[in-house]
């Protein structure tokens, strides 16, 4: 079952035929956005669900659709763990619990992941250096040292866990999407767009992320377009 065919199945039509018609038209238009792979679209749908707490029917349809596109629940878990840094751990935990329910219902094995070494989860002198750019670390530490240490910890953990199956481009697109949903369209948005461009994405590719995101909230996408267009002009 693919996402496009699953998004408005018969039982959605039974709930509300007009809504089903609207959903089919919306998802067909968004699904036709060029510049994104089907795998990237699966990840962007799941990120939207986690950010918006839409973990019932939408999340189930998107998980099953992802499986239909060859995306494993192990990859989906990697995505959710990775995104926890930006979505917040409670939202990610709720998504993992829901994903486990779907895995059980489908008879799928529960994927396992190796735990991180102690130095990766430490904030003491024995901690592994953070992958955060020095300029970013200095900026957030200047705001508050505890917050700086927290951001360094999160960056250190997510650079080693939850991203092994995700490309840099996929990770950048996922975090861009979080920025759109949460309307964090300043410093973090700049970092994430720049990371996508650094991974080889074109300006049109990053625009496609916003085009695809419009189906999850047009007013949020509208504001994000203003930020993205201004940013791309600055970045050249």
Q: Both tokens of residue 135?
A: 């300029």
Say how many CA atoms lie within 13 Å of 187 toward its Cβ: 6
**Using alpha carbons only, what angle is made at residue 10 by residues 5 and 12, rounded to the nearest 5 degrees?**
90
Q: Residue 164 half-sphere exposure, CB side, CA atoms within 13 Å?
A: 10
Q: Which helix (H) or strand (E) holds 153?
A: helix 145-160
pLDDT (tens, 9 = 90+) of the chain, 236 residues, equals 333 444 445 678 888 999 999 999 999 999 999 999 999 999 999 999 999 999 999 999 999 999 999 999 999 999 999 999 999 999 999 999 999 999 999 999 998 888 999 999 999 999 999 998 899 999 999 999 999 999 999 999 987 655 578 999 999 999 999 999 999 999 999 999 999 999 999 999 999 999 999 999 999 999 999 999 999 999 87
Q: What is the dihedral of CA 207, 167, 83, 213, to 10 degrees?
A: 20
* Residue 206: closest CA among 220, 225, 184: 225
* 226, 183 Cβ separation under 8 angstroms: no
So what's the pLDDT on residue 113? 84
Residue 183 exposure: Cα atoms within 13 Å on the Cβ side = 6
Take residue 174 and report the two structure tokens written for it.
Answer: 């996922």
Q: What is the pLDDT of residue 2?
A: 36
Alpha-carbon span 205 to 15, nearest angstrom: 36
- Give the Cα separation of 46 and 81 in Å (integer): 12
The residues near 48 (Cβ < 8 Å, ≥ 6 apart) are: 54, 177, 181, 213, 216
Q: What pLDDT score was predicted for residue 159?
A: 74
Q: Which of 23, 21, 41 has the alpha carbon at shortest distance from 31?
A: 41
> Between the CA of residue 21 and those of 15, 26, 60, 211, what are the distances in Å?
12, 9, 20, 20
């Amino acid at each position: 079952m693919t996402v496009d065919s699953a998004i408005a199945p018969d039982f959605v039509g039974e709930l509300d035929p007009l809504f089903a018609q609207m959903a089919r038209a919306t998802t067909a238009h968004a699904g036709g956005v060029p510049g994104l792979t089907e795998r990237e679209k699966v990840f962007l749908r799941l990120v939207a669900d986690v950010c918006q707490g839409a973990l019932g029917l939408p999340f189930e349809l998107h998980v099953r659709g992802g499986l239909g596109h060859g995306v494993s629940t192990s990859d989906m878990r990697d995505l959710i763990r990775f995104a926890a840094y930006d979505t917040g751990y409670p939202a990610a935990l709720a998504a993992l619990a829901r994903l486990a329910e779907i895995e059980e219902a489908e008879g799928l094995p529960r994927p396992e992941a190796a735990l991180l070494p102690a130095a990766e989860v430490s904030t003491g002198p024995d901690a592994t250096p953070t992958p955060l750019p020095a300029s970013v670390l200095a900026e957030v530490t200047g705001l508050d040292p505890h917050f700086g240490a927290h951001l360094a910890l999160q960056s250190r953990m997510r650079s080693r866990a939850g991203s092994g199956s995700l490309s840099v481009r996929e990770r950048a697109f996922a975090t861009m999407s979080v920025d759109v949903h949460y309307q964090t369209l300043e410093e973090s948005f700049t970092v994430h767009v720049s990371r996508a461009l650094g991974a080889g994405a074109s300006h049109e590719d990053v625009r496609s992320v916003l085009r695809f995101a419009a189906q999850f909230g047009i007013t949020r996408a509208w504001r994000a377009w203003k930020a993205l267009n201004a940013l791309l002009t600055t970045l050249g």
